[in-house]
Amino acid sequence: MGDCYDANFEELDFIIEEVVDNKKMSKYDRVIVGKDGHKIIVDVYSVLQAFNITNSATAHAVKKLLAAGSRGYKDIIQDLEEAKASIDRSIEMEKNK
């Protein structure tokens, strides 16, 4: 890849830092760093899609686990218990296919 490619990623990294600094992200957004060292903003729904999670109960469990205890109004134990219940439901759904 040429200099143009690198310049575009540098510009994107700057924009992402501006968004983070100005707190313009939703509670579902996260900044992750790719294997190439560049940053990107993703939300939990993009992650679920990237991993082809199609079972809604599994998706609910993953969302709970990714943010366990960090949303302010539920503690980590409650989030983990709710994720476990969602996993149990997901197993039931898969068995009934």
Per-residue pLDDT 10s for the chain (97 aa) are 444 445 565 665 666 666 666 667 777 788 888 898 888 888 899 999 999 999 999 999 999 999 888 877 778 999 999 999 999 999 999 999 8
Name the pTM for this structure: 0.71
- Which residues, including other chains, have CB under 8 Å from residue 57's CB and lie 6 or more apart? 86, 87, 89, 90, 93
Distance CA 41, CA 13 (A): 10
- Give the pLDDT score at 22: 64
8 A C-beta contact, residue 41 and residue 19: yes
Residue-range domain boundaries for the chain? 3-48, 53-95
